[in-house]
Amino acid sequence: MSKPIHLTDDSFHNEVIESEIPVIIDFWATWCAPCRMIAPIIEQFSVEYQGQVKVCKLDVDNNQEVAMTYGIRSIPTVLIFKGGKVVDTIVGAVPKKMLKERLENHL
């Protein structure tokens, strides 16, 4: 079973910028209750979109460089990358249907 990739400041470039397929990243923190609400959706996406989308999580407390680079001011924030560039931003705990629609716009 596929699991989300846990990114770090060091692995971000290789895993995201150089990815051949679209990447969805959940920017989160352990203390964030809304982050825990969307975590199961992100887990499901890693199975549902296996091979089509790289599903990742980035803990903003432990990887502040990437969070600052992309201006993450509120969590959860979900960024969708395609060709190494941000193509969509979703802020807050939103329903699975909305995340799925936004992701599928970039497949």
Which residues are the active-site residues? 32, 35
Say how far apart CA 76 and CA 37 lie, in whole Å: 9
1 Cβ neighbours under 8 A, 6+ residues apart: 47
Across the strands, what pairs with 57? 6, 26
